[in-house]
Amino acid sequence: MTRSEPPREQWLARVRDELTTLTRRGTARARQSHPALSLVDQSLLTYIESNPECRAIDIAAHFQLNRSTVSRQLQSLVSAGLIEMGPEQTSRGHRSHGRGQPITLTDSGHRVQAEAAAGVLASLTARLTGWSDDEVRMLAGTLHRFNDESTPMPDASMPAPDASMPGPDASASTTRAESPTLESAPTEGQPS
């Protein structure tokens, strides 16, 4: 006897619940890996380390945040001595209010980031010990696809797309076989 698949809305609710749990646990683990840094601090340091001399506007675009929010968050890292802002750039004599300054990690920032990243990596390694290399690769690919910044965030005021219309994957150069996808939960008789 074959179980029918639950409706998409149930899968979406499950994704929401799993992401909520992941976020909450991630916040707690971030504090454990480096108590002085919040998850926000660690995400900023990671981004800056990966994108030297980025600007606040780059960070805001990547995380889809307001620039003023990012500027406040960066100021706490400056105060902690973990990042430094390059020379302020001006446009026609007007200050850019720090949003146009290149940002780099200080020596202390590099050290703290390395410690925090090592703690997170150790936690992930322990958490995924029983997973095969293919499962870890698939998870990484699926998360990358989910977070892909080229996928625009839907406007909540827009109507849901018509199911008969091709979705964003219709023109993608990657086929389903090449792109990792979430597998449905095992049904009775299938191995978990």
The tens-digit pLDDT sequence of the chain (192 residues) is: 456 777 899 999 998 999 888 888 877 776 766 667 888 999 999 999 999 999 999 999 999 899 999 999 999 999 999 999 988 655 555 555 544 899 999 999 999 999 888 888 888 899 999 999 999 999 999 999 988 865 555 554 434 433 333 333 333 333 333 333 333 333 333 333
CA distance readout (Å), 117 to 2, 74, 79, 113, 125: 44, 19, 21, 6, 12
Cβ atoms of 103 and 55 closer than 8 Å: yes
Strand partners, 104: 84
Distance from C-alpha of 127 to C-alpha of 146, rounded to nearest angstrom: 21
Q: Is 96 helix (H, G, I), strand (E, B) or coil?
A: coil
pLDDT at 39: 84
Per-residue pLDDT at 97: 53
User: In CATH, what is the architecture of 29-89+97-129?
Assistant: Orthogonal Bundle (1.10)
The pLDDT assigned to 89 comes to 58
Tens digit of each residue's pLDDT (9 = 90 or more) over 131-164: 999 999 999 999 999 888 655 555 544 344 333 3
Say if pTM beats, i.e. exceeds, 0.75. no
Euclidean distance between CA atoms 97 and 122, whole angstroms: 38
